[in-house]
Amino acid sequence: MIELYLDTADVAQTKRFNQCLPLQGITTNPTILAKSKQGLNETLKEMQDALGGKPRFHAQVVSTSIEGMVEEARQINELPYDMVVKIPATETGLAAIKLTKAQGIKVLATAIYSAQQGFLAALCGADYLAPYVNRIDALNGNGVEVVADLQLLLDQNQLPAKILAASFKNTQQAMEVMKLGIEAITLPVDVAAAMFAHPAVEPAVAQFGHDWKQAFGDKLSFES
Q: Establish if 5 lies at the interface with ligand E4P (CB under 6 A).
A: no
Count of residues engaged in binding ligand E4P, rule: CB under 6 A:
12
Work out the end-to-end distance of the chain between its first and last CA atoms, rounded to an integer number of angstroms. Answer: 39
Q: Establish if 134 lies at the interface with ligand E4P (CB under 6 A).
A: yes
For the CB of residue 166, give the shortest distance to ligand E4P in the complex, in Å. 3
> Contacting ligand E4P (CB under 6 A), which of 97, 130, 147, 153?
130
The stretch among 115-123, 132-140, 142-150, 191-199 that binds ligand E4P (CB under 6 A) is 132-140
Q: What residues does 26 pair with on adjacent strands?
A: 6, 57
Opening angle at CA 131, ends 52 and 120, nearest 5:
110
162: annotated active-site residue: no
Q: Establish if 24 lies at the interface with ligand E4P (CB under 6 A).
A: no
Q: What residues does 84 pair with on adjacent strands?
A: 58
Q: Establish if 27 lies at the interface with ligand E4P (CB under 6 A).
A: yes
> Contacting ligand E4P (CB under 6 A), which of 15, 16, 74, 135?
135
For the CB of residue 27, give the shortest distance to ligand E4P in the complex, in Å. 6
Q: Residue 211, Cβ neighbours under 10 Å: how many?
A: 10
**In angstroms, rounded to a whole number, what is the distance separating the alpha carbons of residues 2 and 134?**
20
Q: Establish if 117 lies at the interface with ligand E4P (CB under 6 A).
A: no
Task: Classify burial at 74, counting beta carbons within 10 Å of its beta carbon; exposed 0-12, middle 13-18, buried 19 or more.
Answer: middle
Q: What residues does 56 pair with on adjacent strands?
A: 25, 82
Binding site for ligand E4P (CB under 6 A): 7, 27, 29, 110, 130, 132, 134-135, 166-167, 186, 188
